[in-house]
Amino acid sequence: MKLIVGLGNPGNKYKNTRHNAGWLLVDGLAKLNLPGVELFKPQKFMNRSGQEVKQWLKNRKGPTLPYLYVCHDDLDIPLGKFKLNFGKGPLV
């Protein structure tokens, strides 16, 4: 099992902007009905989403999720490119 969390910001101001890249990715993945993958879009602003993800995981029923992927925009990376980080957060 895998959890993919798409970060974004609520409100029309951010709809379909780079700030909602994580939400847009999760929306696209939801259409694929991927087996063994759970998707989650926190509804708080990106910088406040950690507590919501923590609470979601705490309340979740089912098998352990050994893999957690967090998808978000990064202004240091050119649009259309991506990077993968393993076992660390952005400030480590």
Query: Would you say 46 and 7 are in contact if contact means Cβ atoms under 8 Å apart?
Result: yes
Higher local confidence (pLDDT), 86 or 9: 9
Q: What number does CATH give the domain 2-71?
A: 3.40.50.1470
Domain ranges of the chain: 2-71
Task: Check whether 12 has a pLDDT greater than 50.
Answer: yes
pLDDT at 75: 79
Q: Establish whether 19 is a catalytic residue.
A: yes
Alpha-carbon gap, residue 63 to 37, rounded angstroms = 12
Alpha-carbon gap, residue 9 to 45, rounded angstroms = 5
pLDDT at 66: 86
Give the confidence band of 67 by pLDDT, cuts at 50, 70, 90.
Answer: confident
Record the pTM: 0.83
Task: Check whether 23 has a pLDDT greater than 90.
Answer: yes
What is the rounded average pLDDT for all residues in the chain? 88
Alpha-carbon gap, residue 4 to 15, rounded angstroms = 20
Q: Which of 4, 19, 41, 49 is catalytic?
A: 19
HSE at residue 69, side-chain half, CA atoms within 13 A, is 16
